[in-house]
Structures are given as C-alpha cells and as structure tokens.
Amino acid sequence: MTNHKPEAKSRSDEAAEGPDGGWSWPLVGALFVSTSLVFGLMRSLGVFFVEFVQYFEESAQAISWISSTGLAAQQFFSPLGAALCNAYDTRVVVMTGGFLAGLGFILASQATCLVHLYLSMGLISGLGWGLVFTPMVATVVANITRRRALALGLGFSSIGIVSFIFNPLFQFLVETYAWRGALLILGGLSLNIVPCGALIRPQRRPKAPEKVDSESRPSCAEVLRRVASYVELPLLMERPYLTYTSAVTLLNVGYFVPYFHLVAHSRQAGFSDYQSAFVMSAAGATDILGRVASGWFSDLGKFRLLHLLTLWTGLAGVFIMLLPVSSVFGSYAALMVISLLYGFCSGAMTSLVFAVVPMIVGVERVMGALGLLQLIESGAGLLGTPLSGLLKDVTGNYIASFMVAGGFVVLGTLTMTTLPHYFSCTDPPSPRRRSHDDNDKSLHFELEQISRSPSDAGHRGVQ
C-alpha cells in the first residue's frame, strides 16, 4: 500500500513523462526510424556493391569488406556509445551518432578509391551507428516497462519492412543519380536519425557523487575507475550477465547462417532461382510477423520472458537443423514450411533478446550492459559465417553448415537455462547497482523496496 501513493503522485505530476507515460511511445517511433536507418540501410547496400565492383574494378570480396567494417564498427563502438550516454546526455550522443552516420555517406559519395569507402562508409558511419543503436534500445527499454517486448518488437520490425522499400528505392536512386548522387542522398536520409535522437528527453547525469568535484584533477586510477563504471565493466564479473552474454554469443554464431546460405542451398537442392529467392522473402515476412507477435504475446505476462526466449531460440535452432533435411527430400513445400517457421522463431527471439537484459542486470545498468553485449556478440557474427562457408567448401553441400549452426543455437539455449533462478515460475527481483554512497543503509533499504515496483507492475497481468 505504501508503494501506491508515490505512483499516484507520479501519475498526476508527470503524466506524460513518467515510465510508460504518453511520451514513451513516440520513442518507439524513434526506435523504429533509427533502427531502419541503421540495420535496414546496412542490409540494402547490395545495390551499391554491384556499382562499386564495376567502378573500382575490385573483387566482390574486397567490396564486401565495406559492410563488414560498418557492422564491426557498429558493434565495437557500442560500449563507447553506452559509456558516453552514462557520462553525458543520451540525447546529444544519439544526435551526434546520427550526424556521423550521415557524414560517413556524404564523404563516401566523394570517394576516389576503395580505402576511402572503408574509412567513410565503414568506419565513420559504423561509429555513428554504434553511438545510435545501443543508446536508443536502452532508452526504450528503460522507459517502457509494461509493454517492453512489444515496443522492442515493433521497433525491430522496421528492419524487415524497410528492406522491402529500400531495395527498389536504392535501385532507383542509383539509376537516376549514379552511385555518387545516391550516396549523397543516403547521407541525407541517415541524418534523419538526428530528430529521432532529439525526441529523447534531455537529462544530465552526474555520474560520480558530489564529493569528487572537490578534487581539481582526478588521478589516473580515478579516471579509469570512472570509465570502467561508465562502460559497466564490473558486469563481466557477474555470473548471470556472463552466462547470458555467452548464450547470446553462441546464438549469434548460428543465427545469421540461414540468411547468407539459404538461397544458395535451395538452389543446390535443385529448386529454381525464383523459388529460392521466394523462400527467402517468405522467411523475411514471417520474421516481421514473429517480432511483433512475440512482443505482444510476451507482454501479456502469461509466461516469464526468459522462458519464452528459450522456447523461441530452441525452436529456431531445431528448425535451422531441419532446413537441409527438408530440402534433401526434394520437397519444396517442406522447405517452405520450415523456412516460414524458422523466420517466425528468429523474429520472435530478436524482440525478446534485449527485453530480457533488464531482468538480469537491472534497469539502470541496461545501457552499459547492452553496449558490452553488442561488443562480445560481434565476435560470434564474425566467426559464424566464415565457419559455415568453410564447412560447405569441405563437405560440398550445406547440410553440415546448417547442422552446426543449429547446434550452436541450441547450445546457446541450453546455456540460457543455466541462469540463476531459471526454473522458478516468477521473475526474481532484478538486481540494483551498488550505490557509491554505501553509508546510507536506510536509503539502500528503501531503494530495494522500490526496485521491486517494475517487476510487480509486470506481474499485474498474472493476477
């Protein structure tokens, strides 16, 4: 009962700006737009690569390094983005990231050699994307507690929807304006991330307590300690976070394999080019559906998010392993059905992967946690596709690659089951960050009481 009064106060005082308030849903819109401009854009750059191969007269592999660099930069700079948000204002960081992403493409339009493209489209834009994605996701996760998974699902569904629009659009831009003009316009489009960042409420977060300000020049160790706390490095010492990160890393090894190899595999199984491409499009469509549907379903509160996540990842792993089996029998219908199911499960799992993080590390550490997560899982992505390619080269077909990929996903699922309190039916209390002011124990006790409110709110549906 004592908890209801502050909530009533918050509702009347800041009806529009409290958690889950009216201002939070435009944030979902901002997430939608910025995610589409980061990942949706990244996935539709194939049109430009054809032009680059022709113009720079380089091999397709050299050109594909551009997007690899961009993705790697985005994931590598994620902890940096998280740290900057912890140290300064999220809004400023995201707006700067959007500006950098746009700048990268604008510079790329003036490129005269391949290295310029690596630096501009790869490094600068990747840095910008890193400063945008993790802070936006963390902001949405922190701001929306009741319908977190749905919000994330809606936000991430943009990737699939937008890829239907961007591919023909970019083709048209390249034809009308040549690739230089098209890149310039793309830079302008990327600048649209800046208004998305502007939608985030400004807040200044004095990270260290007031007594640090009295020191005129912080010592080296002090600075390092502050940086480590910005990046949330201590998280790596905690078993739940470490378990979850390794689970997600294992997932990532196998997760991307079907996207890269499904078309080639179905062609090898004897289906026509058109049929193979259609399988991919169908899987993409169910992916979008899966994201939104699983987000909506998880928020009904009937099951723990973690249980649902392991369900979807386990199913996705199983379907990945079934994919080559269905096409070995030569049945197009079987391949189509399994691909649709795989698409649904993989979409369902992406909207939950980030929603589970606050349950494990607590809402306040989400920013740093996501940054570190992105960095660590980037290694997995780099490992997974070359490994599957190698398996294909060695064995001659894709069966081994898909089996191994599915195996990794199932392994990740099993790792997730080793999280503490996995088998309990309700969520454990989410951990609170260790306050710097350890003196005030009473404050500490009150804080623990209040920290239960987000999870209580989540369980309202159960009662």
Partner 1 sequence: MKLLWAVSALLLCCWRASASTAGFTKSPLSQMKLINDSAELHCEVIGNPIPEVQWWFVEGEEPNEKFTQLFDGARDGRVQVNATYIAHATSAIHLISLTLDDSGTYECRASNDPDRNELKKTPKIKWIRSQANVIVIETPNIITEPSEVVNQTSAVLSCNLTESSLPIKGSHWMHNGKLVDSSMSTDATPYTTLRLDKITHSSSGKYECVFMTDPEVKQTIEVKTLPHVSTHKHSEHGNENDKGVMVCDSHGYPLPTDWTWVKEVDGIQTPIINGTSDKYEIKSTPNKTTLTINDLSINTDIGDYICFGTNELGTSHDKIHLRVRSRLAALWPFLGIVAEVIILVAIIFIYEKRRKPDEVTDDDDSGAAPLKSNSNANHKDKNVRQRNSN
Interface with partner 1, residue 456, by CB under 8 A: no
Q: How many CA atoms lie within 13 A of 404 on its CB side?
A: 18
Site residues for partner 1, window 240-279 (CB under 8 A)?
A: none
> Is 184 or 283 the residue whose CB approaches partner 1 more closely?
184
Site residues for partner 1, window 155-174 (CB under 8 A)?
A: none
> Is 214 or 442 the residue whose CB approaches partner 1 more closely?
442
Interface with partner 1, residue 448, by CB under 8 A: no
- CB of 94 within 8 A of CB of 66? no
Write out the two tokens for 254: 């196998």
> Is 262 or 363 the residue whose CB approaches partner 1 more closely?
363
d(CA 34, CA 191): 10
Interface with partner 1, residue 359, by CB under 8 A: no
The set of residues, in sequence order, having a beta carbon less than 8 Å from that of 345 and lying 6+ positions away, is: 290, 312, 313, 315, 316, 319
> Is 272 or 435 the residue whose CB approaches partner 1 more closely?
435
Write out the two tokens for 296: 């909506």
Interface with partner 1, residue 122, by CB under 8 A: no
d(CA 312, CA 303): 13
| Closest approach of partner 1 to the CB of residue 210, in Å | 11
> Is 288 or 366 the residue whose CB approaches partner 1 more closely?
366
Interface with partner 1, residue 177, by CB under 8 A: yes
> Is 79 or 187 the residue whose CB approaches partner 1 more closely?
187
Interface with partner 1, residue 18, by CB under 8 A: yes
Stretch that binds partner 1, among 189-197, 271-279, 321-329, 418-426 (CB under 8 A): 189-197
| Closest approach of partner 1 to the CB of residue 416, in Å | 25
Stretch that binds partner 1, among 179-187, 253-261, 293-301, 329-337 (CB under 8 A): 179-187
Interface with partner 1, residue 185, by CB under 8 A: yes
The set of residues, in sequence order, having a beta carbon less than 8 Å from that of 44 and lying 6+ positions away, is: 162, 163, 166, 167, 170
> Is 72 or 141 the residue whose CB approaches partner 1 more closely?
141
| Closest approach of partner 1 to the CB of residue 16, in Å | 8
Interface with partner 1, residue 188, by CB under 8 A: yes
| Closest approach of partner 1 to the CB of residue 261, in Å | 31
Number of residues that bind partner 1 (CB under 8 A): 59
Q: Which of 132, 366, 405, 419 is in the footprint of partner 1 by CB under 8 A?
A: 366
Interface with partner 1, residue 180, by CB under 8 A: yes
> Is 19 or 389 the residue whose CB approaches partner 1 more closely?
19
Interface with partner 1, residue 192, by CB under 8 A: yes
Cα angle 129-375-436, degrees, rounded to a multiple of 5: 100
Site residues for partner 1, window 277-316 (CB under 8 A)?
A: none
Site residues for partner 1, window 367-396 (CB under 8 A)?
A: 367
Applying CB under 8 A, the residues found at the interface with partner 1 are 2, 5-6, 9-10, 13-14, 16-19, 21, 23-24, 27, 86, 90, 95, 109, 138-139, 142-143, 175-178, 180-182, 184-185, 187-189, 191-192, 194-195, 198-207, 209, 363-364, 366-367, 435, 443, 446-447, 450
